[in-house]
Structure 1
Amino acid sequence: MSLGWHCPTMLIAGHEGLSVWLAEQPDVRTVTVLADPAVAHGEITVLVRAQIAKAGRTDRVLTVAGTGDLASAVALADRLTGTDLVVGVGGGSLLDRAKLAALLGDPAARARLAVAQRGGLTALPHDLRRTVRLVAVPTTLGTGTELSPVACLARDGGKRLVLGNALQPDVALLDPAATATLPRELVAEGVLEVLFRVAGLYVGDHRDLPTEDALAVAMAEAAVRYGNAARDAYAAGRAPDAALRTEIAKLSGLSHQGWSVLGREPYCCRGWYVANELAAVCGVRKMTAVAALLPPLWRAVADGDARWGSARRLHALWERLRATDPRLPGDPADGIAALIDGWGVGRRIVAPGVAEEVARRSVRAWGSGLPMLGAFRGADIARLVERTQTSGFPVTA
């Protein structure tokens, strides 16, 4: 039996709703705004702080620096002593750090995360609770961490995945001002991240689940439409408008929610684990690694390697996505490569000789008896990674 996620996060559309929500929280008196340095004085932070003041609360702003490892998360948690509410304003990494810091006021949480382990996933006890309320305000697209029960913790040059309901924020606030200055490549990568997440769940699990599949396909189709709309806007010399950015932000969070993962094999999006290590070894952004990995990954699935996913379901999904954009090639691997290129995301990492190291790290953190990549040998993963070097326009690592 697969358990669904408990999803208690309230979604607020528009910064004005923050003061309304705060007015209904009499136990919240002091507020700390944790902000990415790049947005600490930006429009969205100013708007958020104005809503905090409108609700009659006092606040302070902390900018967050450091490596994002456990020690820095604990140090940040200590700085939150006496705070009733944390408002995180920033991208996925900043929000992950806010989620962890809000949790680590509890000694039990510190003890759990301090346990040494080989694997890359730490599951938190179901009865663990945050000691601080949390509002997440994302300034990037794609991660959806503002609505997810997951946070990434830096470890050994890579990432450790922490999973638990205690990591879900009380409130996710989506406002187009938060993404108004987002660069073109990050908009495109954000949409690709949603598509990768949804398609990975759909293709990686061989079982047909009619309701969940219909939702996954609808989200994937929306991602293609939104990505193409953003591409067309930039081609016309303008940035995507507030309405489009808001829809992408909503889709980012929705791709984490219960009905899209209900009943799925828990670790079926296996490409994520390899992409995580590829990004760490090459020192590139996560979505650069995903863009490089996705075409050869889909080629392996289409060629019948059922460990990576279902060829039948991949072809069915691609048929639906190609109906959204008939100009794309009919072959799924060629088609996803063309889609990524059309969106302007670089997908060839120029880093010869990394395949063995990526494979070693992948097996250590996610394989060798662990369920994520337990069916794979290092040679299988190295072969897949080598194919990221052979096509697409380059991104130098």
Structure 2
Amino acid sequence: MSTASFGVTRSPRLILFGHGQRFALGRTAVALGRRALLCTDPRFGAAPELGALVDNLREAGVEARVYDGTEAELPAAGIHACVDAMRGFDPEVVVGVGGGSCMDMAKLVSLLLAHDGPLDRYYGELNVPGPVRPVIALPTTSGTGSEVTPVAVLADDARDLKVGVSTPYLIPHAAICDPDLTTSCPPRLTAYSAADALTHAIESFTAVRREPTAALAGERVFVGKNALSDAYALSAIGAIARWLPRALADGADGQARAGLMLGALHAGLAFGAAGTAAAHAIQYPVGALTHTAHAVGVAQLMPYVMAYNRPACTDEFAQIARAMNVAGDDPERLADAAIDAVAALLDGAGVPRTLAELGLPQDRIGWVAAQSMLAARLVTNNPRPLDERTMHAIVAAAFRGDRAWRG
């Protein structure tokens, strides 16, 4: 069987997309239970839109309680605090409303409500023993794709690193994607969220190709590049390249907001099956040292990772260039142009050009390279083989801002 005829999609049972679809929350939730916990953050917790969602649930006959203490980057202690506060309520459905941290909070709370802790029992892939409480995800940013993915990421203070729990059981039961919920996103959050989604799409489209055995999708959460994830990834790249500049120019542009949200959704569907690679592996130690947001870190690294992967990805990079509306017929030139087009889009979004700008000390480049290699799932998903020496070269190029470097 060729990889061209092999495909995997992991997705919610229900995806609703479009303006006003948030008001389908009540009828979606009542089919799952009569007690709903809403996980969000302080910003959205104070927004009138949250009150409208609570009213919508109650009108459908669902008792709703709100936990609005979700913190950015999702510390493990906050997850346990939410579970402890809500265990007596015993929610039958958990609703994540907000950015990636809020949706990941909902996933991990639903996990701990269904299975005993501590959370570190479930770190890594395929370590969750069975179904969790059903989750409904409503994104308020166009970036993480968590509304459709089988992974949740949290900050483990004991390890001083971001860690992940990956299992198809964490895929939300339903994703309700209403672009109207993103219109209040400030320009910087809009830009960084879209840059995150772009990175997801590029890394999934260029992931390693694995032998498509009948056992592959059962043995791995993230199977690598495949026909179905490719279709979602290219759609996402094209949508983000087209609509991000318009959304930044006018945050109230409903068409641009919808285009970006669809791009982020498709990026989530792409990497939820194919997985991500080197940019994500490097960002984990970079984020631990610099305390910068995940989206900023992976986006900053993307052009340098692309430069390293360029010899292994001529055809894929040429297709990325075409998706970004770069003209030309020669695949080699298009492949080079793809790196430049991605870098230009990220520059326009205000993503820092160097790891030095993120605050990474030069004397920690070697440590970052060594720590990056420990993320074996991400390292082995990269299309060009990596070792500590080549990882060091990528990090060094990203530190000095050498985008002419080509691996």
Please say whether Structure 1 and Structure 2 have the same fold, judged by a TM-score greater than 0.5: yes
Identify which range, 85-94 or 238-247, moves more after superposition. 238-247
Name stretches of at least 5 consecutive residues in structure 2 with no aligned partner: 211-224, 329-333
Secondary structure of residue in 2 paired with 1:140: coil
Structure 1 pair 44/124, CA: closer, same or farther in 2 (3 Å)?
farther
Identify which range, 62-71 or 14-23, moves more after superposition. 62-71
Aligned to 1:383: 393
Alpha-carbon distance in structure 1 between the residues aligned to 2:276 and 2:46: 40
The answer to whether residue 193 in structure 2 is matched with residue 190 in structure 1 is yes
Structure 1 pair 271/89, CA: closer, same or farther in 2 (3 Å)?
same
Secondary structure of residue in 1 paired with 2:257: helix
Alpha-carbon distance in structure 2 between the residues aligned to 1:210 and 1:114: 33
Contact 2:107 2:170 in 1 (8 A): yes
For residue 204 of structure 1, report the CA deviation from its aligned partner: 2.9
The answer to whether residue 303 in structure 2 is matched with residue 295 in structure 1 is yes
Secondary structure of residue in 2 paired with 1:152: strand
> Which runs of structure 2 are paired with 1:309-328 in the superposition (5 Å)?
310-323=313-326
Once superposed, what is the RMSD of the aligned Cα atoms? 3.3
Contact 1:92 1:138 in 2 (8 A): yes
Alpha-carbon distance in structure 2 between the residues aligned to 1:189 and 1:218: 19
> Which runs of structure 2 are paired with 1:38-77 in the superposition (5 Å)?
38-65=43-70, 68-77=74-83
Aligned to 2:258: 246
Structure 1 stretches of at least 4 aligned residues deviating more than 6 Å after TM superposition: none
Could you tell me the TM-score, scaled by structure 2's length? 0.79
The answer to whether residue 359 in structure 2 is matched with residue 359 in structure 1 is no
Identify which range, 157-166 or 79-88, moves more after superposition. 79-88
Alpha-carbon distance in structure 1 between the residues aligned to 2:339 and 2:398: 12
Could you tell me the TM-score, scaled by structure 1's length? 0.81
For residue 194 of structure 1, report the CA deviation from its aligned partner: 2.1
Instruction: Give 1:90's match in structure 2, choosing from 91, 94, 98.
Output: 98
The answer to whether residue 21 in structure 2 is matched with residue 19 in structure 1 is no
The answer to whether residue 224 in structure 2 is matched with residue 220 in structure 1 is no
Fraction of identical pairs, as percent: 23
How many pairs does the alignment contain? 368
Name stretches of at least 5 consecutive residues in structure 1 with no aligned partner: none
Contact 1:148 1:256 in 2 (8 A): yes
Alpha-carbon distance in structure 1 between the residues aligned to 2:74 and 2:303: 30
- Supply the AA of the counterpart residue of 1:92: G
Instruction: Give 1:175's match in structure 2, choosing from 178, 181, 187.
Output: 178
Alpha-carbon distance in structure 2 between the residues aligned to 1:31 and 1:212: 32
Alpha-carbon distance in structure 2 between the residues aligned to 1:211 and 1:5: 6
Aligned to 1:128: 130
Contact 2:151 2:171 in 1 (8 A): yes
Kindly indicate which of the two structures has a greater share of residues assigned to helix.
2
The answer to whether residue 42 in structure 2 is matched with residue 37 in structure 1 is yes
Structure 1 pair 313/22, CA: closer, same or farther in 2 (3 Å)?
closer
Aligned to 2:14: 10
For residue 316 of structure 1, report the CA deviation from its aligned partner: 3.5
Structure 1 pair 214/89, CA: closer, same or farther in 2 (3 Å)?
closer
Secondary structure of residue in 1 paired with 2:22: coil
Contact 1:185 1:345 in 2 (8 A): no
Alpha-carbon distance in structure 2 between the residues aligned to 1:324 and 1:226: 18
